[in-house]
Structure 1
Amino acid sequence: MILGVIADDFTGATDVASMLVRGGMQTVQVLGVPDTGLPEADAVVVALKTRTVPAADAVAQSLQALKALQDAGARQIYFKYCSTFDSTAEGNIGPVTDALMQALGTDFSIACPAFPENGRTVFRGHLFVGDQLLSDSGMRQHPLTPMTDANLVRVLQSQSAQQVGLLRYDALRADATGRIAQLRTEGVRIAVADAIDNADLLTLAEACADLPLLTAGSGVALGLAPAYRRRGWLQAGDSAAQLATVQGPAAVLSGSCSEATNAQVARWVADGRRAFALDPLALHRGEQSAEHWLAQAVPALASGPVLLYATAAPERVQAVQAELGVEAAGKVVEDTLAAVARGLVQAGVRRLVVAGGETSGAVVQALAVRQLRIGAPICPGVPWTQADLPDGGQALLLALKSGNFGGVDFFAQALREAGVALA
């Protein structure tokens, strides 16, 4: 194994895995740390669900994943977080980075959530979402991890016990290796790295491919395969993204309430496709249930793909959270959609799109999926993946979408690419 990746949520894991496959690396994603060792591949991505858990739990799980990757012989470790750098106010990006650096015995790493193809760029240490500062974007109102400060040096320094500095874009482009050496002599232990375009990511990956630890969004992974080839670690290949051809009904489940997913749900409904809107308050009161929605959705599959969603506008989300509490509001939706996913697969669904990191984590756990083969991207950061179901039946195709990713027609686009006929 060349690269071992520790991802803080399930959609983020498929995101970075997609970038590695794009570079020609055979990549396998595992869900949680397996008890029986890791599979053989150029890169293995361990998908955790640690973005919003208490920092101590995130550290413990990340260190467990690190040990498994080290035992499998990984040359380099990559801690992957979201391209919007979000976690709780206390972490978990800083505490996990500190713990991984200590465990690896390294005194330097980078932090770079940039993913220019999806509009995430870092300039002078500030994270932009499109043309907006992170703090002015829809992430300001995220129901679980609101981001109100775009200055990543300041955000990370508040979470880390180590000195945080800045690797500016002009220094990166002029002499990245030299500037990194200078930062280390100045006592900087974690450098937030600017990146405005893919060329910056390639430069950064080349300069950092020999570090024991990288911390980043998925963008930096774009440059790792070329850097590894130049070092003679990776051979060229063209079969990394091949998945099985899968037939059977298709469905979409959406628990994300991001701006992007709201627009995607609205497009699906506007196009006249079958959709069922879940009400978290009704679910909490027992007036709705997974069985209730399966009784409606399963017969509808005969006419084509269906969408079941709890996606809602920010004011509706805030009202639900005010009544149920943030954690309970999220849990009732995740548990219901996970149970719905299990019922749909039992009813024969074999191509499933899931929107939202927390929702995706709940769904794959409910399906007892332990490993995913990574296919070609549907859009930057979102690939189709293949899971072999525990009962030994037909393979299942899963597209696990981060809430903020994808164009307005993403759901239909994904299904078409999986061979689903849509009007």
Structure 2
Amino acid sequence: MLLGCIADDFTGASDLANTLAKGGMATMQFVGIPDGAAPADCEAGVVALKSRTVPVADAVAQSLAACEWLLAQGCTQILFKYCSTFDSTKEGNIGPVAEALVERLGADVAVVCPVFPATGRTLFNGHLFVGGVLLSESGMQNHPLTPMTDPDIRRWLSHQTKGEVGLVPFSVVRQGFDAIQLALADEAKAGRRLAVVDAVADDDLLAIGGAIGGAKLVTGGSGIALGLPENFRKKGLLSGRGTGFTPGRGSAAVISGSCSTQSRAQVKAYTARHPGLAVMPDEVMGGAMTAKKAFDHVMERIGHAPMVYSSADPAEVKAAQERYGKAEVAEAIEGFFGELAVMLADAGIARLVVGGGETSGAVVTALEVERFHIGPEIDPGVPALAAEGPRPIRLALKSGNFGALDFYDKALAALGDA
């Protein structure tokens, strides 16, 4: 293995794996830290953790353990992948994990670049924009677990880290490879071991990727990986083997647990043409809605690829959190969808599309998936996946804000046919 990646959630892991596979690396996504060695033909390994919203100490411990496994596989570079909307609280977990990895790897400096132009995520003067508006005005300020109320990534990181955070501004990035390398070296000399790096287009990411070919640690969204495969290709290390994905064949269902603005619009578009079952937090918390009830509802309509969704308005979610507790509501909803996914897979569902990062993590964990083969891209950042494990199902795992309005229909087609 050449490149080892640590992702803080499951949709982000598949997003990154998609980027690396498109770049020509033989890529595999692992669910959690494997017990044994990686397959010999794996050039880029992505370890998917569910560490985005766990306590800081747990996130650090899990990430360091994943790093040790990847180093044992022979990796010469480690990439810590987080969401392109920098999902985290003032306490963490991005900053503490990045600092711990810097220390473990002895890195002089690591870039911080949560940029993905294909989905509208750009960074200018250290400020993160989503679709042309500041992060704090994009809807992410209403996220139920990681509300992003400050678009200044340096300032947000300063709440989470012990050291000073640097910046390589857009004016330097546009000067190209050599200027970026010199700027990062200056940050390291100044003792700033994390440096936010501006980028607004894929060309910027390719230049940054070339400049960090020798870096021990890279951090960012999936876009930062655009320029990394070429570094290994120039050294003659890539085989060009491609993917091991094969389409599925059989019935399908859709699950959505995201409350983002885009997710709610996608749910509305999909349920205009397919059966849908809305699940409210109060119903799950009070026992009025169970996974078995939802399963029966789906199976009665299975010929029409039905959807089960808990994509309530943020105000409704907040009210439920105030009644029952934020962690309690999240755990109950995730448990509900995980149990439902197992019932569907055991009933023979061959294709399952999941919306929402936390929901995807719950589903993949419940299904006991061991690893994924990476298939074709459905929308930017979202590939089709073929699972290995006790339930060889085809999956698509979508971050809440990703995908076009017709994403779910496209995803079902990409996973196979009926």
Q: TM-score normalised to the size of structure 1?
A: 0.95
Cα pair 2:247 2:414 within 8 Å, conserved:
no
Contact 1:254 1:359 (8 Å CA) reproduced: yes
Structure 1 residue ranges without an equivalent (≥5): none
Aligned to 1:233: 237
The aligned counterpart of 2:110 is: 109
- 1:413 maps to 2:410: yes
**Matched residue of 1:78: which SS?**
strand
**Which letter maps to 2:347?**
A
State the secondary structure of the residue aligned to 1:373.
Answer: strand
- 1:178 deviates by 1.8
Q: Report the alpha carbon displacement of residue 75 of structure 1 after superposing the two structures with TM.
A: 0.9
Mapping of 1:135-174 within 5 angstroms?
Answer: 135-174=136-175
Q: Does the 8 Å contact 2:135/2:149 carry over to 1? A: yes
CA-CA distance at 1:389 after TM superposition? 3.6
Query: What are the superposed Cα offsets for residues 248-286 of structure 1, whole Å, 9 maximum, x if unpaired?
Result: 101100111111110000101223x11111122112111
- Equivalent residue number for residue 261 of structure 1: 263
Check whether the contact 2:115–2:221 (CA below 8 A) recurs between aligned residues. Answer: yes
Matched, 1:333 2:352: no
Q: 2:397 aligns with which of 394, 397, 400?
A: 400
Matching of residue 216 in structure 1 with residue 224 in structure 2:
no
Aligned to 2:121: 120
Secondary structure of the 2:404 match is: coil
- The whole-number CA distance in structure 1 between the counterparts of 2:167 and 2:61 is 28
**1:275-333 deviations in whole A, cap 9, x for unaligned?**
111122112111121111111111211x2211000111112111211211111111111
| Contact preservation (8 Å) 1:250, 1:352 | yes
Matching residue's letter, 1:185: K
Report the counterpart of residue 90 of structure 1 in structure 2.
Answer: 91
2:380 matched residue in structure 1: 380
Letter of the structure 2 residue corresponding to residue 28 of structure 1:
M
C-alpha contact 2:5 2:47 (8 A) present in aligned 1: yes
SS in structure 2 of the partner of residue 263 of structure 1: helix
Residue matched to 1:247 = 249
The 8 Å contact of residues 38 and 68 in structure 1, kept in 2 or not, is answered as no
Percent pairwise identity:
47
- Following superposition, the deviation at residue 168 of structure 1 comes to 0.8
Aligned to 1:202: 206
- Looking at structure 1, the residues matched to 320 and 417 of structure 2 have their Cα atoms a distance apart, in angstroms, of 35
Shift of 1:419: 3.4
More deviation in 335-344 or 324-333? 324-333
Residue aligned with 2:123, SS = strand
Alpha-carbon distance in 1 for matches of 2:172, 2:232:
23
Distance 1:105 1:242 in 2: 35
Point out where structure 2 has 5 or more consecutive residues left out of the alignment: none
Three-state SS of the structure 1 residue aligned to 2:50 is: coil
What SS does the corresponding residue of 1:77 show, helix, strand or coil?
strand
**Distance apart, 1:242 and its partner CA:** 4.5
CA distance in 2, matches of 1:131, 1:106: 33
Q: Could you tell me which residue of structure 2 aligns to residue 73 of structure 1?
A: 74
CA RMSD of aligned residues (A): 1.3
Cα separation, 2, equivalents of 1:123 and 1:227: 25
Deviations 1:201-258 (A, max 9, x none): 00000000110000111001111112221233324x2x52341131110110011111
1:187 aligned residue:
191
- 2 CA distance for matches of 1:254 and 1:292? 16
| Structure 2 letter corresponding to 1:209 | G
Other-structure match for 1:62: 63
Q: Contact 2:353/2:408 (CA < 8 Å) preserved in 1?
A: yes
User: Alpha-carbon deviation of 1:88?
Assistant: 2.2
Q: Which residue identity does 2:410 align to in structure 1?
A: Q
- Secondary structure at the residue paired with 2:246? coil
Residue 299 of structure 2 corresponds to 298
State the one-letter code of the partner of 1:206.
G
1:188 Cα deviation after fit = 2.0
1:364 equivalenced with 2:364 (yes/no): yes
Matching residue's letter, 2:34 = P
Check whether the contact 2:89–2:148 (CA below 8 A) recurs between aligned residues.
Answer: no
Q: AA paired with 1:270?
A: A
Q: Could you say what secondary structure the match of 2:218 adopts?
A: strand
SS in 2 for 1:162: coil
C-alpha contact 2:109 2:187 (8 A) present in aligned 1: no
Shift of 1:38: 2.7
